[in-house]
Structure 1
């Protein structure tokens, strides 16, 4: 079975997960507890919103339900995904919610995972 690397930016963590694993499966790996917060695992709570920094093409395509929910939460970028609904098909680098304000892949300057219209 093929395994793929999931890298968590700013924490310098890497996990090897099997083909088609959900990102939230790192919860079962050493050092994986609490890295990606999650609640329902069914795409209904929005707790596991992450920002894909690299390798978006290595993920399942975003379905209409996920897209609509992400937009309902106020996120405007196609790089925002629900970790519990996203399956790996190759190497991916992400920022979990609490990290995204610290890292931007293109400029290495602060960015925000905050929904549009929300001010810290």
Structure 2
């Protein structure tokens, strides 16, 4: 599925955790630290396609809470997984 991250387009298969592609996604300006949802470095805002993504795990929710993310559109890029390819496009923007 096509995913736009900070204006760059990536082809990310359904079911693949974005953290597994961190070396490629970093080219779009998303920084990764731990890639397992603990550090919060890769926080991004989902501009489009939130409904396409798997719900955040308890660990991701805990990290988001700890770093002060309050909007449901704020997610850890490393933890994102496409769950539904039929819902349209996905677009992310890193938080600065």
Report the TM range for the smaller structure's normalisation: 0.7 to 0.9
Give RMSD over aligned pairs.
Answer: 1.9
- Matched residue, 2:92: 94
1:5 paired residue among 2, 7, 10: 2
Q: State the TM-score, normalizing by the size of structure 1.
A: 0.66
SS in 1 for 2:60: helix
SS in 2 for 1:93: strand
Compare relative contact order (CA 8 Å, sep 6+) and give the higher one, 1 or 2.
2
Q: Which protein has the larger Cα radius of gyration, Structure 1 or Structure 2? A: 1
How big is the shift at 1:76? 0.7
Structure 2: gaps spanning 5 or more residues: none
More helix by share: 2
Q: State the TM-score, normalizing by the size of structure 2.
A: 0.81
- Matched residue, 2:54: 60
- Matched residue, 1:116: none
How big is the shift at 1:34? 5.3
| Count of residues paired in the alignment | 91
Contact 1:49/1:96 (CA < 8 Å) preserved in 2?
yes
Contact 2:3/2:12 (CA < 8 Å) preserved in 1?
yes
- Matched residue, 1:79: 73
2:14 corresponds to 1:19: yes
- Show structure 1 runs of 4+ deviating over 3 A: none
